[in-house]
Amino acid sequence: MRKVNGILTVAHEIDIQFYDVDAMRVVWHGNYVKYIEDARCQLLRKFNYDYNDMEDSGYVWPIVDMRLKYVKSAQFGHKIRVEATLVEYETRLKISYRIFNAESNQLLTKAYTVQVAVNIESNEMQFESPAVLLEKLAPFLADVS
């Protein structure tokens, strides 16, 4: 399986809002899923294959695995930077994430998601990424070689 290390990376900054924190002004753990989703959407847009493009190409890409490791808490009033990096693409999309305090650059959270292609018409999971994904990634993969 071919891995892409750092070739497709986006960084997205988020201001922590009061509605995302608990009574101790610490970000509620479930909100990190929302933060990585924001970064994932930006990464997908970088190679012109966001969720609308996926559907238009005849596939949906459900998340089948997601892991998060909380290292340190984000808090109300902080700004965080969420970095999303595509690390696998041939049989699935695996995206790794790192969330940092934007001011101190301290690592707060590590995560990854795995998505697989499912043909919309047949509702069958694909064991290889569809050609359309490889076409979208081709300009970026040329830089890897």
Count Cβ neighbours within 10 Å for each residue of 45-84 and write b for 16 or more, e otherwise. Answer: ebbebbeebbeebebebeeeeeebeeeebbbbebebbbbb
Mean pLDDT score across all residues of the chain:
93
Provide the pLDDT confidence category of residue 140 given band limits of 50, 70 and 90.
Answer: confident
pLDDT above 80 (res 6): no
What pTM did the predictor assign? Answer: 0.92
> Whose CA is closest to 112, among 80, 73, 144, 64?
64
Tell me the C-alpha to C-alpha distance, in Å, between residue 79 and each of 11, 12, 36, 99, 125: 13, 10, 14, 10, 38
- Mean pLDDT for 44-71 is 97
